[in-house]
Structure 1
Amino acid sequence: MPPCNLTSLRPATFLLAGIPGMEKLHIWISIPFCAMYLAALLGNGVLLLVIRTERSLHQPMYLLLSMLAVADLVLSTTTVPKMLAVFWFSAGQISFGACLTQMFFLHFTFSAESVILLAMAFDRFVAICDPLRYVAVLTPSVIVKTGLFALLRSFCIIFPCVFLVKRLPFCRHNVIPHTYCEHMGIARLACADISINILYGLAVPFAAIVVDVVLIAVSYVLILLALFRLPSRTARHKAFNTCGSHVCVILLFYIPAFFTVLTHRFGQEIPHHVHILLANLYVLFPPLLNPVVYGVRTQQIKEKVVKVFICPKSRLLQE
Protein backbone atom coordinates (compact mmCIF):
# COMPACT_ATOMS: atom_id res chain seq x y z
CA MET A 1 0.00 0.00 0.00
CA PRO A 2 1.59 3.35 -1.01
CA PRO A 3 2.35 5.72 1.87
CA CYS A 4 0.01 8.63 2.48
CA ASN A 5 1.30 12.05 1.51
CA LEU A 6 1.35 13.46 5.05
CA THR A 7 2.66 16.84 3.95
CA SER A 8 -0.76 17.63 2.51
CA LEU A 9 -2.50 17.05 5.82
CA ARG A 10 -3.39 20.25 7.59
CA PRO A 11 -6.35 20.81 9.93
CA ALA A 12 -8.84 23.54 9.04
CA THR A 13 -9.17 24.38 12.73
CA PHE A 14 -7.65 23.62 16.10
CA LEU A 15 -9.56 23.35 19.36
CA LEU A 16 -8.18 25.11 22.43
CA ALA A 17 -9.13 22.98 25.43
CA GLY A 18 -8.46 25.58 28.14
CA ILE A 19 -6.95 24.09 31.28
CA PRO A 20 -7.36 20.29 31.12
CA GLY A 21 -8.58 18.81 34.37
CA MET A 22 -9.93 22.14 35.61
CA GLU A 23 -12.84 22.60 33.20
CA LYS A 24 -15.33 22.96 36.07
CA LEU A 25 -13.29 25.87 37.44
CA HIS A 26 -12.99 27.78 34.17
CA ILE A 27 -15.62 30.35 35.14
CA TRP A 28 -14.01 31.00 38.53
CA ILE A 29 -10.52 31.19 37.02
CA SER A 30 -11.76 33.65 34.41
CA ILE A 31 -12.86 36.20 37.03
CA PRO A 32 -9.36 37.18 38.30
CA PHE A 33 -7.92 36.78 34.79
CA CYS A 34 -10.50 39.18 33.35
CA ALA A 35 -9.94 41.64 36.20
CA MET A 36 -6.16 41.56 35.67
CA TYR A 37 -6.58 42.06 31.92
CA LEU A 38 -8.86 45.07 32.37
CA ALA A 39 -6.49 46.52 34.95
CA ALA A 40 -3.56 46.00 32.55
CA LEU A 41 -5.46 47.80 29.78
CA LEU A 42 -6.26 50.67 32.13
CA GLY A 43 -2.78 50.96 33.64
CA ASN A 44 -0.89 50.84 30.35
CA GLY A 45 -3.47 53.11 28.70
CA VAL A 46 -3.04 55.72 31.44
CA LEU A 47 0.74 55.44 31.18
CA LEU A 48 0.67 55.98 27.41
CA LEU A 49 -1.75 58.89 27.73
CA VAL A 50 0.35 60.65 30.35
CA ILE A 51 3.58 60.20 28.39
CA ARG A 52 1.84 61.35 25.20
CA THR A 53 0.28 64.49 26.69
CA GLU A 54 3.13 65.66 28.95
CA ARG A 55 6.00 67.12 26.93
CA SER A 56 8.32 66.93 29.96
CA LEU A 57 8.13 63.14 29.69
CA HIS A 58 9.27 63.11 26.06
CA GLN A 59 12.64 61.78 27.19
CA PRO A 60 14.39 58.53 26.18
CA MET A 61 13.53 56.74 29.43
CA TYR A 62 9.81 57.44 29.12
CA LEU A 63 9.68 56.85 25.37
CA LEU A 64 11.17 53.40 25.96
CA LEU A 65 8.65 52.90 28.74
CA SER A 66 5.85 53.74 26.31
CA MET A 67 7.24 51.10 23.91
CA LEU A 68 7.15 48.60 26.76
CA ALA A 69 3.52 49.54 27.51
CA VAL A 70 2.55 49.00 23.86
CA ALA A 71 4.30 45.61 23.84
CA ASP A 72 2.48 44.65 27.06
CA LEU A 73 -0.86 45.57 25.51
CA VAL A 74 -0.10 43.49 22.41
CA LEU A 75 1.07 40.54 24.51
CA SER A 76 -2.05 40.40 26.67
CA THR A 77 -4.53 41.27 23.91
CA THR A 78 -3.09 38.57 21.64
CA THR A 79 -3.99 35.86 24.14
CA VAL A 80 -6.44 36.92 26.86
CA PRO A 81 -9.64 37.65 24.83
CA LYS A 82 -9.53 34.18 23.25
CA MET A 83 -8.66 32.69 26.62
CA LEU A 84 -11.75 34.28 28.17
CA ALA A 85 -13.89 33.07 25.25
CA VAL A 86 -12.72 29.53 26.00
CA PHE A 87 -13.50 29.94 29.70
CA TRP A 88 -16.89 31.63 29.27
CA PHE A 89 -18.38 30.15 26.11
CA SER A 90 -16.27 27.04 25.44
CA ALA A 91 -15.40 28.80 22.17
CA GLY A 92 -12.09 27.05 21.72
CA GLN A 93 -12.26 26.62 17.96
CA ILE A 94 -9.60 28.58 16.11
CA SER A 95 -8.59 28.37 12.47
CA PHE A 96 -5.15 27.12 11.47
CA GLY A 97 -4.16 30.57 10.16
CA ALA A 98 -5.46 32.38 13.24
CA CYS A 99 -3.60 29.95 15.48
CA LEU A 100 -0.33 30.60 13.63
CA THR A 101 -0.97 34.35 13.83
CA GLN A 102 -1.54 34.18 17.58
CA MET A 103 1.59 32.05 17.98
CA PHE A 104 3.67 34.52 15.97
CA PHE A 105 2.57 37.63 17.86
CA LEU A 106 2.94 35.90 21.24
CA HIS A 107 6.59 34.97 20.69
CA PHE A 108 7.33 38.09 18.63
CA THR A 109 6.16 40.39 21.43
CA PHE A 110 8.15 38.47 24.03
CA SER A 111 11.33 38.90 21.99
CA ALA A 112 10.61 42.59 21.34
CA GLU A 113 10.05 43.27 25.06
CA SER A 114 13.42 41.74 25.83
CA VAL A 115 15.14 44.17 23.45
CA ILE A 116 13.22 47.09 24.98
CA LEU A 117 14.30 46.08 28.49
CA LEU A 118 17.90 45.90 27.27
CA ALA A 119 17.56 49.39 25.79
CA MET A 120 16.14 50.66 29.08
CA ALA A 121 19.14 49.18 30.92
CA PHE A 122 21.48 50.95 28.49
CA ASP A 123 19.53 54.18 29.05
CA ARG A 124 20.11 53.93 32.80
CA PHE A 125 23.77 53.01 32.22
CA VAL A 126 24.42 56.15 30.14
CA ALA A 127 22.38 58.38 32.49
CA ILE A 128 24.37 57.29 35.55
CA CYS A 129 27.81 56.36 34.22
CA ASP A 130 28.19 59.05 31.53
CA PRO A 131 25.53 61.71 32.24
CA LEU A 132 27.28 64.48 30.30
CA ARG A 133 26.87 62.54 27.06
CA TYR A 134 23.31 61.36 27.76
CA VAL A 135 21.60 63.85 25.42
CA ALA A 136 24.18 63.28 22.70
CA VAL A 137 24.02 59.47 22.87
CA LEU A 138 20.29 58.86 23.35
CA THR A 139 18.86 61.10 20.67
CA PRO A 140 15.30 60.72 19.32
CA SER A 141 16.68 59.03 16.20
CA VAL A 142 18.48 56.48 18.38
CA ILE A 143 15.24 55.69 20.20
CA VAL A 144 13.42 55.22 16.88
CA LYS A 145 16.22 52.95 15.62
CA THR A 146 16.02 50.97 18.86
CA GLY A 147 12.31 50.37 18.30
CA LEU A 148 12.92 49.34 14.69
CA PHE A 149 15.73 47.01 15.77
CA ALA A 150 13.43 45.36 18.34
CA LEU A 151 10.83 44.75 15.63
CA LEU A 152 13.34 43.52 13.05
CA ARG A 153 15.23 41.18 15.35
CA SER A 154 12.03 39.70 16.75
CA PHE A 155 10.63 39.19 13.26
CA CYS A 156 13.79 37.46 12.01
CA ILE A 157 13.87 35.15 15.03
CA ILE A 158 10.18 34.23 15.23
CA PHE A 159 8.98 34.22 11.63
CA PRO A 160 10.81 30.93 10.79
CA CYS A 161 8.66 29.25 13.45
CA VAL A 162 5.63 29.84 11.22
CA PHE A 163 7.24 27.87 8.40
CA LEU A 164 8.47 25.19 10.79
CA VAL A 165 4.87 24.61 11.84
CA LYS A 166 3.34 24.93 8.36
CA ARG A 167 5.63 22.20 6.99
CA LEU A 168 4.33 19.67 9.52
CA PRO A 169 1.62 17.12 8.68
CA PHE A 170 -1.26 16.81 11.17
CA CYS A 171 -3.04 13.47 10.97
CA ARG A 172 -3.97 13.05 14.64
CA HIS A 173 -6.40 14.97 16.82
CA ASN A 174 -6.57 18.76 16.60
CA VAL A 175 -7.08 19.52 20.32
CA ILE A 176 -4.48 21.83 21.87
CA PRO A 177 -4.45 21.35 25.67
CA HIS A 178 -3.89 25.04 26.29
CA THR A 179 -5.70 28.38 26.35
CA TYR A 180 -3.72 29.84 23.45
CA CYS A 181 -1.52 28.73 20.54
CA GLU A 182 2.22 28.53 21.12
CA HIS A 183 4.93 26.97 19.00
CA MET A 184 5.58 23.68 20.77
CA GLY A 185 1.93 23.20 21.70
CA ILE A 186 1.05 23.12 18.00
CA ALA A 187 4.11 21.15 16.91
CA ARG A 188 3.40 18.32 19.34
CA LEU A 189 0.14 17.58 17.51
CA ALA A 190 2.05 16.69 14.32
CA CYS A 191 2.49 13.14 13.14
CA ALA A 192 6.10 13.68 12.07
CA ASP A 193 9.53 14.30 13.55
CA ILE A 194 9.56 17.68 15.30
CA SER A 195 13.23 17.66 16.30
CA ILE A 196 13.92 20.79 14.22
CA ASN A 197 11.02 22.59 15.90
CA ILE A 198 12.31 21.63 19.34
CA LEU A 199 15.89 22.62 18.50
CA TYR A 200 15.03 25.93 16.85
CA GLY A 201 12.22 26.84 19.25
CA LEU A 202 14.48 26.35 22.26
CA ALA A 203 17.93 27.27 20.99
CA VAL A 204 17.50 30.37 18.81
CA PRO A 205 14.95 32.52 20.73
CA PHE A 206 16.33 31.31 24.07
CA ALA A 207 19.91 32.18 23.05
CA ALA A 208 18.81 35.68 21.97
CA ILE A 209 17.05 36.25 25.29
CA VAL A 210 20.06 34.95 27.25
CA VAL A 211 22.30 37.44 25.40
CA ASP A 212 19.90 40.22 26.41
CA VAL A 213 19.94 39.08 30.04
CA VAL A 214 23.75 38.92 30.14
CA LEU A 215 24.05 42.44 28.67
CA ILE A 216 21.47 43.76 31.15
CA ALA A 217 23.39 42.15 34.02
CA VAL A 218 26.67 43.70 32.83
CA SER A 219 24.97 47.09 32.56
CA TYR A 220 23.71 46.91 36.13
CA VAL A 221 27.04 45.77 37.52
CA LEU A 222 28.61 48.89 35.97
CA ILE A 223 25.68 51.01 37.21
CA LEU A 224 26.11 49.75 40.78
CA LEU A 225 29.84 50.51 40.69
CA ALA A 226 29.05 54.03 39.49
CA LEU A 227 26.34 54.54 42.10
CA PHE A 228 28.66 53.77 44.98
CA ARG A 229 31.05 56.43 43.69
CA LEU A 230 28.41 59.19 43.71
CA PRO A 231 29.31 61.77 46.39
CA SER A 232 25.75 62.90 47.14
CA ARG A 233 23.46 60.64 49.17
CA THR A 234 20.43 62.30 47.59
CA ALA A 235 21.75 61.55 44.09
CA ARG A 236 22.41 57.93 45.05
CA HIS A 237 18.89 57.56 46.45
CA LYS A 238 17.32 59.06 43.33
CA ALA A 239 19.37 56.82 41.02
CA PHE A 240 18.63 53.73 43.11
CA ASN A 241 14.92 54.53 43.01
CA THR A 242 14.86 54.87 39.22
CA CYS A 243 16.98 51.76 38.66
CA GLY A 244 14.94 49.87 41.24
CA SER A 245 11.80 50.37 39.15
CA HIS A 246 13.54 48.97 36.09
CA VAL A 247 14.98 46.01 38.00
CA CYS A 248 11.50 45.12 39.29
CA VAL A 249 10.14 45.20 35.74
CA ILE A 250 13.04 43.02 34.52
CA LEU A 251 12.38 40.44 37.24
CA LEU A 252 8.64 40.46 36.52
CA PHE A 253 9.37 39.76 32.86
CA TYR A 254 12.22 37.26 32.89
CA ILE A 255 11.56 35.10 35.96
CA PRO A 256 8.06 33.90 34.95
CA ALA A 257 9.20 33.58 31.31
CA PHE A 258 12.26 31.43 32.07
CA PHE A 259 10.36 29.39 34.63
CA THR A 260 7.54 28.74 32.15
CA VAL A 261 9.86 27.81 29.29
CA LEU A 262 12.11 25.55 31.37
CA THR A 263 9.32 23.75 33.21
CA HIS A 264 7.39 23.33 29.96
CA ARG A 265 10.33 21.54 28.35
CA PHE A 266 12.09 19.85 31.26
CA GLY A 267 9.67 19.76 34.21
CA GLN A 268 7.73 16.72 33.07
CA GLU A 269 6.86 15.79 36.67
CA ILE A 270 4.94 19.06 37.12
CA PRO A 271 1.19 18.61 36.43
CA HIS A 272 0.11 19.90 33.02
CA HIS A 273 -2.53 22.24 34.43
CA VAL A 274 0.19 23.95 36.51
CA HIS A 275 2.19 24.60 33.31
CA ILE A 276 -0.84 26.22 31.69
CA LEU A 277 -1.74 28.33 34.73
CA LEU A 278 1.84 29.63 34.86
CA ALA A 279 1.77 30.37 31.12
CA ASN A 280 -1.49 32.30 31.55
CA LEU A 281 -0.12 34.30 34.46
CA TYR A 282 2.96 35.14 32.41
CA VAL A 283 0.88 36.99 29.79
CA LEU A 284 -1.04 38.81 32.54
CA PHE A 285 1.36 39.68 35.37
CA PRO A 286 3.97 41.80 33.52
CA PRO A 287 1.36 43.90 31.64
CA LEU A 288 -0.55 44.35 34.91
CA LEU A 289 2.34 45.21 37.20
CA ASN A 290 4.72 47.16 34.94
CA PRO A 291 2.66 50.40 34.97
CA VAL A 292 2.04 49.96 38.70
CA VAL A 293 5.76 49.60 39.43
CA TYR A 294 6.71 52.66 37.39
CA GLY A 295 3.70 54.66 38.55
CA VAL A 296 4.43 54.03 42.23
CA ARG A 297 8.25 54.22 42.18
CA THR A 298 8.79 57.03 39.66
CA GLN A 299 8.03 60.44 41.12
CA GLN A 300 7.72 62.21 37.75
CA ILE A 301 5.07 59.81 36.51
CA LYS A 302 3.11 60.07 39.76
CA GLU A 303 3.14 63.86 39.52
CA LYS A 304 2.03 63.85 35.88
CA VAL A 305 -0.78 61.36 36.54
CA VAL A 306 -2.06 63.66 39.27
CA LYS A 307 -1.75 66.65 36.95
CA VAL A 308 -3.59 64.97 34.06
CA PHE A 309 -6.35 63.20 35.99
CA ILE A 310 -6.73 64.84 39.40
CA CYS A 311 -6.07 68.54 38.84
CA PRO A 312 -8.59 68.98 36.01
CA LYS A 313 -11.28 67.38 38.16
CA SER A 314 -10.36 69.63 41.08
CA ARG A 315 -10.70 72.74 38.90
CA LEU A 316 -14.08 71.58 37.64
CA LEU A 317 -15.30 71.07 41.21
CA GLN A 318 -14.12 74.54 42.19
CA GLU A 319 -15.99 76.08 39.29
Structure 2
Amino acid sequence: MCSNTIIVSLLQMMRGRREGLWFFGLCLTFMIADQAKVKVFKHELIMVSNKKLNWTEAQTFCRFHYQDLASILDSNTNQLVEDMTSDENDFWIGLFNKDLKWRWSLLDPQRQQTYRHWNKTQANEKEGDQNCVTMNDDGFWSTEQCLKTEKAFVCSHNSSKHPYVLVNQNRSWVSAQSFCRRNHRDLVTVDSDEENQALLSLMEEQEVGQIWIGLHRPQWNWSDGSVYQFSHWGKNQDKLKENWSCVAIRNRKWKRQDCSKQLDFLCEGTTKVRVPPKSELVQVHQRIFTPCVFQTSVRMRMKIQTQADLNDPAVNLAVSQQV
Protein backbone atom coordinates (compact mmCIF):
# COMPACT_ATOMS: atom_id res chain seq x y z
CA MET A 1 0.00 0.00 0.00
CA CYS A 2 1.47 3.37 -0.98
CA SER A 3 1.84 5.83 1.84
CA ASN A 4 2.73 8.98 -0.10
CA THR A 5 1.50 10.56 -3.31
CA ILE A 6 2.93 13.71 -4.88
CA ILE A 7 2.03 15.47 -8.16
CA VAL A 8 4.85 17.21 -10.02
CA SER A 9 4.21 19.26 -13.17
CA LEU A 10 6.74 19.50 -15.97
CA LEU A 11 6.34 19.43 -19.73
CA GLN A 12 9.27 19.58 -22.12
CA MET A 13 9.55 19.90 -25.87
CA MET A 14 12.39 18.48 -27.91
CA ARG A 15 13.70 18.91 -31.41
CA GLY A 16 16.30 16.89 -33.25
CA ARG A 17 17.02 14.39 -35.98
CA ARG A 18 16.50 10.67 -36.13
CA GLU A 19 17.31 8.50 -39.13
CA GLY A 20 17.49 11.58 -41.33
CA LEU A 21 14.04 12.79 -40.31
CA TRP A 22 13.12 16.01 -38.61
CA PHE A 23 10.98 15.27 -35.60
CA PHE A 24 9.74 16.99 -32.50
CA GLY A 25 7.87 15.59 -29.58
CA LEU A 26 6.48 15.81 -26.12
CA CYS A 27 8.37 14.10 -23.33
CA LEU A 28 6.29 12.99 -20.33
CA THR A 29 7.56 11.13 -17.29
CA PHE A 30 5.37 9.21 -14.87
CA MET A 31 5.84 6.75 -12.02
CA ILE A 32 3.94 3.74 -10.74
CA ALA A 33 4.40 1.82 -7.51
CA ASP A 34 5.22 -1.89 -7.41
CA GLN A 35 4.97 -2.77 -3.72
CA ALA A 36 7.93 -0.95 -2.16
CA LYS A 37 9.63 -0.32 -5.52
CA VAL A 38 9.16 2.70 -7.73
CA LYS A 39 9.17 2.40 -11.53
CA VAL A 40 9.62 5.47 -13.71
CA PHE A 41 8.49 5.56 -17.32
CA LYS A 42 9.07 8.19 -19.99
CA HIS A 43 6.18 8.68 -22.42
CA GLU A 44 6.90 10.57 -25.62
CA LEU A 45 4.71 11.95 -28.38
CA ILE A 46 6.85 12.30 -31.50
CA MET A 47 5.80 14.16 -34.63
CA VAL A 48 7.53 12.73 -37.71
CA SER A 49 7.66 15.05 -40.72
CA ASN A 50 9.56 15.15 -44.02
CA LYS A 51 8.63 11.48 -44.46
CA LYS A 52 5.01 11.41 -45.51
CA LEU A 53 3.40 7.96 -45.32
CA ASN A 54 -0.07 6.48 -45.66
CA TRP A 55 -1.81 5.43 -42.43
CA THR A 56 -0.72 1.77 -42.52
CA GLU A 57 2.89 2.68 -43.34
CA ALA A 58 2.88 5.26 -40.53
CA GLN A 59 1.55 2.64 -38.11
CA THR A 60 4.33 0.22 -39.15
CA PHE A 61 6.98 2.94 -38.79
CA CYS A 62 5.79 3.97 -35.32
CA ARG A 63 5.58 0.37 -34.10
CA PHE A 64 9.10 -0.38 -35.35
CA HIS A 65 10.85 2.76 -34.09
CA TYR A 66 8.73 3.71 -31.07
CA GLN A 67 5.57 2.01 -29.80
CA ASP A 68 2.59 2.89 -32.00
CA LEU A 69 0.69 5.70 -33.65
CA ALA A 70 -0.42 8.13 -30.95
CA SER A 71 -3.64 7.77 -28.96
CA ILE A 72 -5.38 10.89 -27.63
CA LEU A 73 -7.51 9.72 -24.73
CA ASP A 74 -8.52 12.94 -22.94
CA SER A 75 -8.78 16.70 -23.31
CA ASN A 76 -5.48 17.33 -21.53
CA THR A 77 -3.54 15.20 -24.00
CA ASN A 78 -5.43 16.77 -26.88
CA GLN A 79 -4.43 20.23 -25.65
CA LEU A 80 -0.79 19.14 -25.38
CA VAL A 81 -0.89 17.90 -28.97
CA GLU A 82 -2.37 21.22 -30.09
CA ASP A 83 0.39 23.08 -28.26
CA MET A 84 3.16 21.07 -29.92
CA THR A 85 1.82 21.24 -33.49
CA SER A 86 0.87 23.87 -36.05
CA ASP A 87 -2.08 24.22 -38.41
CA GLU A 88 0.15 24.02 -41.49
CA ASN A 89 0.11 20.26 -42.12
CA ASP A 90 -2.33 17.42 -41.59
CA PHE A 91 -0.96 14.43 -39.68
CA TRP A 92 -2.10 10.90 -38.84
CA ILE A 93 -3.03 9.75 -35.34
CA GLY A 94 -3.81 6.18 -34.27
CA LEU A 95 -7.61 6.27 -34.66
CA PHE A 96 -9.15 4.06 -37.34
CA ASN A 97 -12.24 2.05 -38.23
CA LYS A 98 -12.06 -1.22 -40.14
CA ASP A 99 -15.50 -0.83 -41.69
CA LEU A 100 -17.68 2.30 -41.79
CA LYS A 101 -20.56 0.69 -43.67
CA TRP A 102 -24.01 0.88 -42.10
CA ARG A 103 -25.56 -2.44 -41.07
CA TRP A 104 -28.55 -3.69 -39.07
CA SER A 105 -28.21 -5.22 -35.63
CA LEU A 106 -30.17 -8.25 -36.85
CA LEU A 107 -28.37 -9.66 -39.88
CA ASP A 108 -31.27 -11.40 -41.58
CA PRO A 109 -30.54 -12.50 -45.19
CA GLN A 110 -34.29 -12.76 -45.80
CA ARG A 111 -34.74 -9.03 -45.32
CA GLN A 112 -33.76 -6.06 -47.44
CA GLN A 113 -30.72 -4.40 -45.87
CA THR A 114 -30.33 -1.24 -47.95
CA TYR A 115 -33.46 0.79 -47.11
CA ARG A 116 -32.65 4.24 -45.61
CA HIS A 117 -34.76 7.26 -44.65
CA TRP A 118 -32.16 9.85 -43.66
CA ASN A 119 -32.80 13.34 -42.34
CA LYS A 120 -30.26 14.96 -44.67
CA THR A 121 -30.28 18.38 -42.99
CA GLN A 122 -29.28 16.89 -39.62
CA ALA A 123 -26.88 14.29 -40.94
CA ASN A 124 -24.69 16.88 -42.64
CA GLU A 125 -23.78 18.46 -39.30
CA LYS A 126 -22.96 15.24 -37.44
CA GLU A 127 -19.53 14.45 -36.07
CA GLY A 128 -17.43 11.39 -36.83
CA ASP A 129 -18.48 9.24 -33.87
CA GLN A 130 -22.24 9.39 -34.45
CA ASN A 131 -22.51 5.69 -35.28
CA CYS A 132 -26.04 4.69 -34.20
CA VAL A 133 -29.39 5.70 -35.69
CA THR A 134 -32.60 7.14 -34.28
CA MET A 135 -36.02 7.71 -35.86
CA ASN A 136 -37.46 11.15 -35.17
CA ASP A 137 -41.10 12.22 -34.78
CA ASP A 138 -41.25 13.17 -38.48
CA GLY A 139 -40.25 9.65 -39.55
CA PHE A 140 -36.79 10.64 -40.73
CA TRP A 141 -33.58 9.13 -39.33
CA SER A 142 -30.54 10.80 -37.80
CA THR A 143 -27.28 9.65 -36.24
CA GLU A 144 -26.33 9.87 -32.57
CA GLN A 145 -23.54 8.72 -30.25
CA CYS A 146 -24.12 5.08 -29.32
CA LEU A 147 -22.99 5.23 -25.68
CA LYS A 148 -23.45 8.83 -24.56
CA THR A 149 -27.01 9.31 -25.84
CA GLU A 150 -30.04 7.64 -24.25
CA LYS A 151 -33.38 7.11 -26.01
CA ALA A 152 -36.48 4.93 -26.00
CA PHE A 153 -36.26 2.07 -28.50
CA VAL A 154 -38.21 -0.51 -30.50
CA CYS A 155 -37.48 -4.23 -30.44
CA SER A 156 -38.49 -6.70 -33.11
CA HIS A 157 -40.65 -9.55 -31.84
CA ASN A 158 -41.22 -13.08 -33.10
CA SER A 159 -44.90 -12.49 -33.76
CA SER A 160 -46.61 -11.66 -37.02
CA LYS A 161 -49.52 -10.10 -35.11
CA HIS A 162 -47.34 -7.87 -32.89
CA PRO A 163 -43.97 -7.55 -34.64
CA TYR A 164 -42.82 -4.43 -32.73
CA VAL A 165 -42.37 -3.68 -29.03
CA LEU A 166 -41.75 -0.05 -28.08
CA VAL A 167 -39.82 0.16 -24.81
CA ASN A 168 -40.23 3.58 -23.26
CA GLN A 169 -37.02 3.51 -21.24
CA ASN A 170 -34.06 5.78 -21.90
CA ARG A 171 -31.05 3.62 -22.69
CA SER A 172 -27.92 3.90 -24.79
CA TRP A 173 -28.04 2.12 -28.17
CA VAL A 174 -25.75 -0.64 -26.84
CA SER A 175 -27.92 -1.15 -23.75
CA ALA A 176 -31.10 -1.14 -25.88
CA GLN A 177 -29.60 -3.78 -28.17
CA SER A 178 -28.78 -6.01 -25.18
CA PHE A 179 -32.30 -5.56 -23.78
CA CYS A 180 -33.96 -6.49 -27.08
CA ARG A 181 -31.78 -9.55 -27.59
CA ARG A 182 -32.37 -10.72 -24.04
CA ASN A 183 -36.14 -10.16 -23.93
CA HIS A 184 -37.33 -10.21 -27.54
CA ARG A 185 -35.39 -10.74 -30.76
CA ASP A 186 -33.25 -7.69 -31.60
CA LEU A 187 -33.45 -3.95 -32.23
CA VAL A 188 -35.91 -3.33 -35.02
CA THR A 189 -34.93 -3.54 -38.69
CA VAL A 190 -36.76 -1.17 -41.06
CA ASP A 191 -36.65 -2.18 -44.72
CA SER A 192 -39.59 -0.35 -46.35
CA ASP A 193 -41.68 2.84 -46.26
CA GLU A 194 -44.57 0.78 -44.87
CA GLU A 195 -42.52 -0.42 -41.88
CA ASN A 196 -41.18 3.07 -41.31
CA GLN A 197 -44.74 4.43 -41.19
CA ALA A 198 -45.83 1.63 -38.82
CA LEU A 199 -43.08 2.59 -36.37
CA LEU A 200 -44.00 6.27 -36.66
CA SER A 201 -47.63 5.44 -35.82
CA LEU A 202 -46.46 3.43 -32.80
CA MET A 203 -44.41 6.42 -31.60
CA GLU A 204 -47.41 8.73 -31.98
CA GLU A 205 -49.69 6.35 -30.05
CA GLN A 206 -47.28 6.25 -27.10
CA GLU A 207 -46.25 9.90 -27.44
CA VAL A 208 -42.54 9.15 -27.89
CA GLY A 209 -40.55 11.70 -29.87
CA GLN A 210 -37.45 9.70 -30.79
CA ILE A 211 -36.42 6.03 -30.76
CA TRP A 212 -33.37 3.90 -31.43
CA ILE A 213 -33.60 1.55 -34.39
CA GLY A 214 -31.15 -1.25 -35.23
CA LEU A 215 -29.04 0.57 -37.82
CA HIS A 216 -25.43 1.22 -36.79
CA ARG A 217 -21.81 1.02 -37.88
CA PRO A 218 -18.73 -0.21 -35.95
CA GLN A 219 -17.09 1.97 -33.31
CA TRP A 220 -13.68 3.61 -33.73
CA ASN A 221 -10.52 1.94 -32.43
CA TRP A 222 -7.10 3.14 -31.33
CA SER A 223 -4.12 1.43 -32.93
CA ASP A 224 -2.55 0.61 -29.53
CA GLY A 225 -5.78 -0.99 -28.25
CA SER A 226 -6.80 1.88 -25.96
CA VAL A 227 -10.55 2.32 -25.38
CA TYR A 228 -12.17 4.96 -27.59
CA GLN A 229 -14.15 7.43 -25.46
CA PHE A 230 -12.80 10.97 -25.87
CA SER A 231 -13.20 12.65 -29.28
CA HIS A 232 -12.48 16.00 -30.91
CA TRP A 233 -14.15 15.74 -34.32
CA GLY A 234 -14.65 18.51 -36.84
CA LYS A 235 -18.05 18.97 -38.47
CA ASN A 236 -19.53 17.41 -41.61
CA GLN A 237 -17.86 14.02 -41.20
CA ASP A 238 -20.88 12.17 -42.60
CA LYS A 239 -20.42 13.87 -45.96
CA LEU A 240 -17.18 11.92 -46.47
CA LYS A 241 -16.78 8.61 -48.26
CA GLU A 242 -17.39 5.41 -46.29
CA ASN A 243 -13.91 4.08 -47.09
CA TRP A 244 -12.26 7.13 -45.51
CA SER A 245 -11.75 5.21 -42.29
CA CYS A 246 -8.50 6.62 -40.87
CA VAL A 247 -8.19 9.81 -38.81
CA ALA A 248 -5.88 12.78 -39.23
CA ILE A 249 -5.75 16.11 -37.41
CA ARG A 250 -6.41 19.19 -39.53
CA ASN A 251 -6.65 22.67 -38.06
CA ARG A 252 -6.73 21.15 -34.54
CA LYS A 253 -9.80 18.99 -35.32
CA TRP A 254 -10.07 15.27 -36.04
CA LYS A 255 -11.05 14.46 -39.58
CA ARG A 256 -11.78 11.22 -41.42
CA GLN A 257 -9.34 10.80 -44.25
CA ASP A 258 -8.49 8.45 -47.10
CA CYS A 259 -6.09 5.93 -45.50
CA SER A 260 -3.89 5.87 -48.62
CA LYS A 261 -3.08 9.58 -48.41
CA GLN A 262 0.55 10.48 -47.64
CA LEU A 263 0.78 12.61 -44.46
CA ASP A 264 3.03 13.46 -41.52
CA PHE A 265 2.23 11.39 -38.44
CA LEU A 266 2.33 11.40 -34.65
CA CYS A 267 3.95 8.46 -32.84
CA GLU A 268 4.00 7.53 -29.16
CA GLY A 269 6.62 5.66 -27.16
CA THR A 270 7.13 4.53 -23.57
CA THR A 271 10.51 3.61 -22.08
CA LYS A 272 11.53 2.68 -18.57
CA VAL A 273 13.83 5.07 -16.71
CA ARG A 274 16.20 3.69 -14.09
CA VAL A 275 15.62 4.86 -10.50
CA PRO A 276 18.68 4.56 -8.22
CA PRO A 277 18.38 2.31 -5.15
CA LYS A 278 18.22 3.92 -1.73
CA SER A 279 21.93 3.33 -1.17
CA GLU A 280 22.72 5.58 -4.10
CA LEU A 281 20.38 8.42 -3.18
CA VAL A 282 23.11 10.45 -1.48
CA GLN A 283 25.20 10.33 -4.66
CA VAL A 284 22.36 11.35 -6.99
CA HIS A 285 23.12 15.03 -6.73
CA GLN A 286 26.55 14.39 -8.24
CA ARG A 287 25.01 13.15 -11.52
CA ILE A 288 23.02 14.96 -14.16
CA PHE A 289 20.21 12.80 -15.51
CA THR A 290 18.22 13.93 -18.58
CA PRO A 291 15.64 11.52 -20.05
CA CYS A 292 15.35 13.61 -23.24
CA VAL A 293 17.40 16.20 -25.08
CA PHE A 294 15.41 19.40 -24.77
CA GLN A 295 15.46 22.88 -26.16
CA THR A 296 12.27 24.34 -24.72
CA SER A 297 10.63 23.75 -21.34
CA VAL A 298 6.92 24.14 -20.98
CA ARG A 299 4.93 21.93 -18.60
CA MET A 300 4.43 18.23 -17.89
CA ARG A 301 2.31 16.25 -15.48
CA MET A 302 3.73 13.41 -13.42
CA LYS A 303 2.27 11.26 -10.64
CA ILE A 304 4.55 9.57 -8.11
CA GLN A 305 3.44 6.81 -5.78
CA THR A 306 5.95 5.30 -3.37
CA GLN A 307 6.46 4.21 0.23
CA ALA A 308 9.59 6.32 0.48
CA ASP A 309 9.45 9.42 2.68
CA LEU A 310 8.97 12.25 0.18
CA ASN A 311 9.77 14.77 2.91
CA ASP A 312 13.30 13.36 3.10
CA PRO A 313 15.53 15.93 1.30
CA ALA A 314 17.68 13.20 -0.25
CA VAL A 315 14.61 11.42 -1.67
CA ASN A 316 13.11 14.70 -2.88
CA LEU A 317 16.36 15.63 -4.63
CA ALA A 318 16.63 12.20 -6.24
CA VAL A 319 13.10 12.38 -7.63
CA SER A 320 13.46 15.92 -8.95
CA GLN A 321 16.68 15.07 -10.78
CA GLN A 322 15.05 12.12 -12.53
CA VAL A 323 12.86 14.52 -14.53
Please classify the TM superposition score into its range, dividing by the shorter chain length. under 0.3
Structure with higher helix content: 1
Q: Larger Rg: 1 or 2? A: 2
Q: Quick one: higher RCO (CA 8 Å, sep 6+), 1 or 2?
A: 2
Structure with higher strand content: 2
TM-score of the superposed pair, with normalisation by structure 1: 0.22
TM-score of the superposed pair, with normalisation by structure 2: 0.22
